[in-house]
């Protein structure tokens, strides 16, 4: 494949740097630095910015208990640091989620929404100017030496890796398509060298060697380092044959290292209430799935065990990496972050193995961070997301946040400078990804669920716990996870409710709660920067409302009753604004009366 080399991005790039027109950058930086130097994570370290080691697994779930099977990761990172147990991704698919992580922006602002062109993949990342404008580039500009090994993006291939090369890394060794997920025949590409095939070696053994090599370089260096290690496990195995023949690849159970093949013989997918349920649940394409027979259930259990076995190699990789950091004199000034690019479901709601849905299994991922100032054995309940990670790393490195960050630094210490938030914006465009031997690939060789386009808000506040989504078919879902943690009972009314029969939630009628959630989603689905962080300020400027509970005040019923609403005109496979209904909410300032008249 030939890639168009992109121009015309420099104007865009310049405009996204923190503007100095109305901000005094120097003062901002001084203020930030004094805040940072007062905080415990800096007082316990030297004056030099900290080192950062980031491990990103591929498709690792939180909800299906994968973190209970990785003792080294528990011992070295979770127990020595903090578990952020309400951590979410904003798009449950590898490439869009990774681009959001590397830029601190929602997928609707990166417009990298898929794994392949025209809507996603490495070419789209380059097209959008991000190769000159993402986390490693910014960290290099701030004086870091940066290293990367493993999978970066999809559609980063043996044909396009040099047009252009990935920017921002002092040392890199990338897995390349179509061999990225070929556990026993991977291809890696180092710095500016030609790709090398590792036929006959297990990909996790290969990446372990490469990662330790870069870690040694990093530890020997004079400057602070940022090293990312991104193994493919526990992602499915993909035999490159079909991709080379131009067909949609089939994803099968991951392949563990030989020494782990025998493990977990009796382990099965957790039989939570939403596992292959008797009653259908979810949006119509999910609700229409047949209940799985014993053959499929057995296969799914095998698939699940294969993932846990494949993760053992990652557990050993982390053991080797962290042990080496622990033996170095740099441990005291190093943060270690462990997470995944998106979650995974197997059999929940009768779904075949896969991701791309908005259910808890898909959007929740592990996040553990250890380092100076971070409580040992801590558990943090604040809502945090992948777009918060770049702002968090900026804070650790002492770099002022960018205005185009849609996320905000997460509370790793009490002195963090970010904004606590109760919402997660979840968005998806295009096909549902289905995996395994019973994935539902149709006679045309294509997965059967093309219209998996939706917008959602996940809301976790004081005394409430909701998931609200609007689909491109204009179907809606509303789950109250405080009473329905497995998302089996859609509360969204199928007919217009009569006032007398409406259920009450938080002391208000269901339709009043929905009006607030829908208005919030209308803001979030096209938010940018601060409006993604403080969405209620868009609806009701002035700071009088900063949570669902506050917005539920009866005094605002008329105002929320007149919002245009989230809707779609058709199901598009990418971010086509014309398909996405109303773009601008009604705000109190445009409602004819000043906001304070509404209190
Ligand atoms: C890493 O790359 C940056 C940017 O090119 C450069 O300034 C720095 O000197 C490099 N570090 C090393 C150790 O070569
Ligand atoms: C392994 O990958 C290389 C390309 O990197 C390819 O030439 C070779 O045929 C592959 N081997 C198998 C067994 O598929
Ligand atoms: C179970 O379901 C799968 C997938 O629909 C089907 O291929 C298989 O034949 C079924 N097996 C039995 C024993 O019914
Ligand atoms: C998907 O959506 C498109 C456009 O909205 C529609 O024409 C098509 O019938 C839908 N396909 C399925 C399988 O629902
Ligand atoms: C996103 O990218 C697609 C594919 O290039 C393009 O058609 C669409 O207009 C873009 N969306 C926005 C909002 O720029």
Quick: pLDDT tens for 145-181.
999 999 999 999 999 999 999 999 999 999 999 999 9
The answer to whether the CB of 170 is under 6 A from ligand 1 is yes
Residue 3 clears pLDDT 80, i.e. is over it: no
Q: Which residues line ligand 4 (CB under 6 A)?
A: 450-451, 570-571
Structural domains present in the chain = 7-426 (3.40.720.10), 462-598 (no CATH)
Q: What's the token pair of residue 318? A: 């982390």
Q: Which residues line ligand 2 (CB under 6 A)?
A: 179, 185, 187, 197, 199
Each residue of 273-287: pLDDT tens digit? 999 999 999 999 999
Ligand lying nearest the CA atom of residue 177: 2
Say how many C-beta atoms besides its own lie within 10 A of residue 306's C-beta: 23
CA distance 251 to 436: 6
Average confidence (pLDDT) over 549-556: 97
Contact 59, 234 (CB under 8 A): yes
Per-residue confidence (pLDDT) for residue 454, from 0 to 100: 98
Q: Walk across the sheet containing 454-461 and list its strands.
A: 423-428, 454-461, 464-471, 476-480
Per-residue confidence (pLDDT) for residue 27, from 0 to 100: 39
CA of 157 to the centre of ligand 2 (A): 14
Residue 20 clears pLDDT 60, i.e. is over it: no
Q: What share of the chain is helix, strand, coil (3-state, %, to 5)?
A: 35, 15, 50
Per-residue confidence (pLDDT) for residue 9, from 0 to 100: 30
Contact 140, 168 (CB under 8 A): yes
Known active-site residue 94:
yes
To test the pocket of ligand 2, the residue of 183, 197, 203, 242 to mutate (highest count of ligand atoms within 8 Å of its CB) is 197
Helix, strand or coil, per DSSP, at residue 224: coil
Ligand lying nearest the CA atom of residue 299: 3
CA of 199 to the centre of ligand 2 (A): 6
The answer to whether the CB of 221 is under 6 A from ligand 1 is yes
* Closest residue CA from atom 9 of ligand 1: 145
Mean pLDDT for the chain overall: 90
| CA 420 vs CA 62, 306, 394, 416, 435: distances in Å | 22, 37, 17, 10, 36
pTM of the entire structure? 0.92
To test the pocket of ligand 1, the residue of 136, 168, 170 to mutate (highest count of ligand atoms within 8 Å of its CB) is 170
Per-residue confidence (pLDDT) for residue 416, from 0 to 100: 86
Per-residue confidence (pLDDT) for residue 596, from 0 to 100: 52
What lies within 8 Å, CB to CB, of 130 at 6+ separation is: 99, 102, 103, 110, 112
Q: What's the token pair of residue 20? A: 């100095």
Per-residue confidence (pLDDT) for residue 447, from 0 to 100: 64
């Amino acid at each position: 494949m030939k890639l168009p080399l992109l121009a015309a991005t420099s104007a865009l790039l310049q405009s996204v740097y923190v503007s100095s027109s109305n901000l005094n950058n120097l003062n901002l930086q001084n203020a930030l630095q004094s805040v940072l130097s007062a905080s415990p994570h800096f007082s316990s370290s030297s004056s030099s910015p900290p080192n950062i080691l980031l491990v990103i697994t591929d498709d690792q779930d939180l909800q299906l208990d994968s973190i209970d099977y990785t003792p080294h990761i528990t011992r070295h990172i979770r127990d020595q640091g903090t578990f952020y147990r309400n951590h979410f991704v904003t798009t449950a698919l590898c490439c869009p989620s990774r681009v959001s992580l590397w830029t601190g922006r929602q997928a609707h602002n990166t417009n990298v929404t898929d794994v392949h062109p025209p809507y996603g993949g490495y070419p789209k990342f380059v097209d959008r100017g991000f190769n000159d404008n993402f986390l490693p580039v910014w960290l290099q500009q701030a004086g870091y030496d940066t290293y990367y090994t493993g999978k970066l993006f999809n559609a980063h291939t043996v044909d396009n890796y040099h047009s252009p090369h990935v920017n921002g890394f002092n040392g890199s060794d990338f897995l390349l398509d179509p061999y990225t997920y070929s556990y026993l025949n991977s291809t890696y590409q180092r710095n500016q060298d030609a790709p090398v095939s590792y036929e006959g070696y297990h990909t996790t053994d290969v990446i372990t060697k490469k990662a330790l090599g870069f870690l040694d370089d990093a530890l020997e260096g004079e400057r602070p380092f940022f090293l990312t290690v991104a193994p493919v496990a526990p992602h499915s195995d993909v035999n490159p044959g079909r991709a080379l023949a131009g067909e949609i690849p089939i994803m099968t159970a991951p392949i563990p290292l030989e020494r782990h093949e025998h493990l977990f013989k009796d382990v099965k997918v957790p039989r939570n209430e939403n596992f292959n349920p008797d009653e259908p649940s979810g949006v119509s394409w999910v609700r229409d799935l047949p209940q799985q027979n014993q053959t499929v259930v057995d296969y799914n259990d095998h698939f699940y065990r294969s993932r846990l076995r494949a993760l053992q190699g990652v557990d050993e990789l982390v053991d080797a990496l962290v042990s080496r950091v622990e033996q170095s004199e740099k441990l005291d000034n190093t943060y270690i972050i462990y997470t995944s690019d998106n979650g995974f479901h197997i059999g929940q709601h009768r779904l075949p193995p896969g991701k791309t849905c908005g259910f808890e299994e898909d959007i929740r991922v592990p996040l553990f961070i250890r380092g100076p100032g971070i409580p040992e054995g801590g558990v943090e309940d604040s809502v945090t997301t992948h777009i918060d990670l770049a702002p968090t790393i900026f804070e650790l490195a002492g770099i002022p946040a960018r205005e185009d960050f849609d996320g905000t630094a997460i509370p790793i210490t009490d002195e963090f400078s970010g904004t606590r938030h109760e919402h997660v914006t979840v968005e998806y465009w295009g096909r549902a990804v289905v995996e395994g031997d019973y994935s539902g690939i149709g006679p045309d060789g294509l997965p059967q669920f093309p219209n998996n386009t939706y917008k959602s808000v996940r809301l976790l506040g004081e005394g409430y716990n909701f998931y609200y989504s609007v689909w491109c078919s204009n179907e809606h879902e509303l789950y109250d996870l405080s009473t329905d943690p497995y998302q089996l009972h859609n509360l969204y009314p199928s007919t217009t409710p009569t006032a007398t029969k409406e259920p009450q939630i938080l002391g208000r009628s269901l339709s009043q709660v929905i009006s607030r959630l829908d208005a919030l989603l209308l803001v979030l689905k096209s938010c940018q920067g601060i409006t993604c962080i403080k969405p209620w300020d868009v609806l009701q400027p002035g700071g009088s409302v900063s949570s669902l509970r506050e917005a539920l005040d009866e005094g605002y019923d008329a105002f929320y009753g007149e919002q245009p609403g989230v809707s779609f005109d058709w199901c598009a496979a990418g971010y086509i604004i014309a398909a996405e209904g109303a773009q601008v909410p009604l705000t109190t300032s445009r409602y004819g009366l000043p906001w304070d008249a509404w209190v």
